[in-house]
Amino acid sequence: MTSTAYLATDESRTTRKRQAIVEAATAVFLRNGYLGTSMDEIAALATVSKQTVYKQFADKEQLFSDVILRIVHQVDEETQAAVLALGETDDLERDLGQLARRFLGSLREPRVLQLRRLIIGEAGRFPALGRTYWREGFERALATLAAGFQRLVDRGLLRLDDPLFAAQHFAGLVLWIPMNQVMFNGGESVTDDQLERAADAGVRAFLAAYSTRDI
Amino acid sequence: MTSTAYLATDESRTTRKRQAIVEAATAVFLRNGYLGTSMDEIAALATVSKQTVYKQFADKEQLFSDVILRIVHQVDEETQAAVLALGETDDLERDLGQLARRFLGSLREPRVLQLRRLIIGEAGRFPALGRTYWREGFERALATLAAGFQRLVDRGLLRLDDPLFAAQHFAGLVLWIPMNQVMFNGGESVTDDQLERAADAGVRAFLAAYSTRDI
């Protein structure tokens, strides 16, 4: 084995350990909250030493920030792909409905909900965490959606002055009530049928406000 | 003094003490969170004995529930009055704008924001608290708003099938982004100018979707 091969093996071991730490941290943070989580517990669950954790992450806040970013970036990639497809739609109402269902689908993911609750609950004590989630999660998703709507304006399907407001309105029409309902009552409080109706009603109102065609 | 007068004095003393306890509890819960608050601390701040607290409130959860309800009912009374006035409007766009500004104004009330964060953060551990806030806060406000919109349908100013969805949509159009922004970034992250523009854009989209007139 050459020294380069050794290096590669070291690197992949480091990557594997890093991933194990982030996965363990995700589980422990979501179960116990930010204050209730210790680096010891994370190290134990990841079956690495505490020194290894600190070699990769300066402190608990940085590790939590990584946990947030990992989940947020997964959601973001899915949103990007969905909005890109929407821009080329040949059935606007149907494909807006699919996008609405995708947004509402996140309410069925306990990890996303727990994370959201955790960050809101801790945002007073740890403002940097909330700001990261806002910037990497909300602002990126809105910018992506706004670019998709601009493409639909260029294709003559939507009529609007401000794509960013239209993106905010689409999200608000679809998500406001179901998101609050699960935040305050838990994910099991919303039925699939409620989500279907929220998607359809939200899309209808959006098209009534912004479509170039009468619906 | 007759025995009835004694009784009245006792009653008003009890009411006063109860109010002092609820006010102290509000301050301590909002500062320290639910888990970080003890009945001892509340009793000390209210300058009553712990026995007096327990005579009025069975446990911490019931006291917290009272704190929630007091804030929620204050907001509710204001909403009722505003929506009643909206139903008789002679300038729909202006008065919807006023209502939107009133909703957005709650984002300038630290108590309301802290309470909301606290309940969302604790909803996993204490589902009853979240449900109370949802039922007494959200559902009542939506029902009130839906009744106001139905009055506007009857007067020929709005066209809609489902007043409850229209109420959800009005709230979502106006509140989705500013509310999330302050939940994740704090109340000082939103400027007055942003709130003004959110109100105007939300009302315009709502009227484009639901008004009987072209705007």
Mean pLDDT for chain B?
90
Residues of chain A with C-beta less than 8 angstroms from the C-beta of B209: 205-206, 208-209
Is the same domain home to A198 and A135? yes
How many Cα neighbours within 13 Å face the side chain of B44? 6
pLDDT in tens, B2-53: 555 566 677 788 888 999 999 999 999 988 888 889 999 999 999 999 999 9
Q: Does residue A156 have a pLDDT over 80? A: yes
User: Per-residue pLDDT averaged across B145-156, rounded?
Assistant: 97
Decide if B167 is inside a domain.
Answer: yes
Is the same domain home to B200 and B124? yes
* Domain extent at residue A201: 60-210
Decide if A190 is inside a domain.
Answer: yes
Share of chain A above pLDDT 90, in %: 60
pLDDT in tens, A180-200: 999 888 888 899 999 999 999
Which range, of A6-10, A130-134, A147-151, averages the lowest pLDDT?
A: A6-10
pLDDT at position B187 is 80
CB contact under 8 A, B177 and A168: yes
pLDDT band at B55 (very low <50, low <70, confident <90, very high): very high
User: Per-residue pLDDT averaged across A107-122, rounded?
Assistant: 84
pLDDT at position A59 is 93
Residues of chain B with C-beta less than 8 angstroms from the C-beta of A165: 201, 205
pLDDT band at A1 (very low <50, low <70, confident <90, very high): very low
Q: Does residue A62 have a pLDDT over 60? A: yes
- Please give the residue of chain B at the shortest CA–CA distance from A165: B201
Is the same domain home to B53 and B65? no
CB contact under 8 A, A184 and B131: yes
B123 to chain A, closest Cα gap in Å: 6
pLDDT band at B84 (very low <50, low <70, confident <90, very high): very high
Residues of chain A with C-beta less than 8 angstroms from the C-beta of B205: 165-166, 169, 209-210
Q: Does residue B129 have a pLDDT over 60? A: yes
- Please give the residue of chain A at the shortest CA–CA distance from B117: A121
**Neighbouring C-beta atoms of residue A214, cutoff 10 Å:** 6
Query: Which residues contact residue B138 at a Cβ distance below 8 angstroms, ignoring those fewer than 6 apart?
Result: A177, A180, A181, A184
Residues A29, A23: contact at Cβ < 8 Å? no
Q: Say which CATH number the domain at B144 has.
A: 1.10.357.10
User: Per-residue pLDDT averaged across A42-55, rounded?
Assistant: 95
pLDDT at position B189 is 86
How many Cα neighbours within 13 Å face the side chain of B124? 16
pLDDT band at B1 (very low <50, low <70, confident <90, very high): very low
Decide if A196 is inside a domain.
Answer: yes
Facing B172 at nearest CB: one of A130, A134, A172:
A172
One-letter amino acid of A65: S
Facing B165 at nearest CB: one of A123, A162, A201:
A201
Residues of chain A with C-beta less than 8 angstroms from the C-beta of B134: 180-181, 184-185
How many Cα neighbours within 13 Å face the side chain of A136? 18
Which range, of A1-10, A94-103, B123-132, averages the lowest pLDDT?
A: A1-10
Q: How many domains does chain A have?
A: 2
CB contact under 8 A, B186 and A123: yes
Measure the CA–CA gap between B154 and B99, rounded to whole angstroms. 19
Facing B114 at nearest CB: one of A124, A172, A186:
A124
B202 interfaces chain A, CB cutoff of 8 Å: yes
> Of A140, A198, A132, A196, whose CA–CA distance to A167 is shortest?
A140
Query: Which residues contact residue A177 at a Cβ distance below 8 angstroms, ignoring those fewer than 6 apart?
Result: A198, B138, B142, B168, B171, B172
- Please give the residue of chain A at the shortest CA–CA distance from B183: A120
Is the same domain home to B45 and B85? no
A186 to chain B, closest Cα gap in Å: 7
- pTM given for the model: 0.86
Q: Say which CATH number the domain at B8 has.
A: 1.10.10.60
Residues B203, B166: contact at Cβ < 8 Å? no
Is the same domain home to B33 and B63? no
Phi then psi for A176, rounded to 5 degrees? -50, -55
- Please give the residue of chain B at the shortest CA–CA distance from A31: B124
The helix (H) or strand (E) run that includes residue B68 is: helix B60-87
pLDDT at position A215 is 56
CB contact under 8 A, B205 and A171: no
pLDDT at position B39 is 95
Is the same domain home to B45 and B71? no
3-class DSSP assignment, residue B211: strand
pLDDT at position A5 is 57
Beta bridge partners of B211: B158
pLDDT band at B151 (very low <50, low <70, confident <90, very high): very high
Decide if A215 is inside a domain.
Answer: no
Portion 71-110 of A in contact with B at CB < 8 A: none
A186 interfaces chain B, CB cutoff of 8 Å: yes
pLDDT at position A125 is 78
Measure the CA–CA gap between B34 and B130, rounded to whole angstroms. 13
One-letter amino acid of B119: I
Residues of chain A with C-beta less than 8 angstroms from the C-beta of B36: none
- Region of residue A183 (left: phi > 0; alpha: psi -120 to 50; beta: else): alpha
Residues counted in chain A = 215
Is the same domain home to B49 and B91? no
pLDDT at position A160 is 94
Residues B186, B72: contact at Cβ < 8 Å? no
Facing B131 at nearest CB: one of A133, A176, A185:
A185
CB contact under 8 A, A185 and B138: no
pLDDT at position B109 is 85
Is the same domain home to A22 and A78? no
Decide if A147 is inside a domain.
Answer: yes
What is the per-residue DSSP string for chain A? Answer: --HHHHHHHHHHHHHHHHHHHHHHHHHHHHHHTTTT--HHHHHHHHTS-HHHHHHH-SSHHHHHHHHHHHHHHHHHHHHHHHHHHHHT-S-HHHHHHHHHHHHHHGGG-HHHHHHHHHHHHHTTT-HHHHHHHIIIIIIHHHHHHHHHHHHHHHTTSB--S-HHHHHHHHHHHHHHHHHHHHHHH-GGGS-HHHHHHHHHHHHHHHHHHHBSS--
B210 interfaces chain A, CB cutoff of 8 Å: yes
Structure tokens at A172: 């608000």
Is the same domain home to A82 and A178? yes
Which range, of B84-98, B117-131, B175-189, averages the lowest pLDDT?
A: B117-131
pLDDT at position B128 is 85
Is the same domain home to A67 and A46? no
What interface predicted TM-score (ipTM) does this complex get? Answer: 0.84
Is the same domain home to B74 and B92? yes
- Please give the residue of chain B at the shortest CA–CA distance from A128: B185
CB contact under 8 A, A202 and B169: yes
pLDDT at position B215 is 56
User: What distance lies between CA A188 and its chain's CA centroid?
Assistant: 19
Measure the CA–CA gap between B199 and B149, rounded to whole angstroms. 17
Is the same domain home to A166 and A195? yes
One-letter amino acid of B179: M
Residues B178, B114: contact at Cβ < 8 Å? no
CB contact under 8 A, B172 and A173: yes
A190 interfaces chain B, CB cutoff of 8 Å: no
Mean pLDDT for chain A?
90
Facing B124 at nearest CB: one of A117, A171, A176:
A117
pLDDT in tens, A3-32: 555 666 777 888 889 999 999 999 999 888
Among the candidates A14, A37, A57, a domain finishes at A57
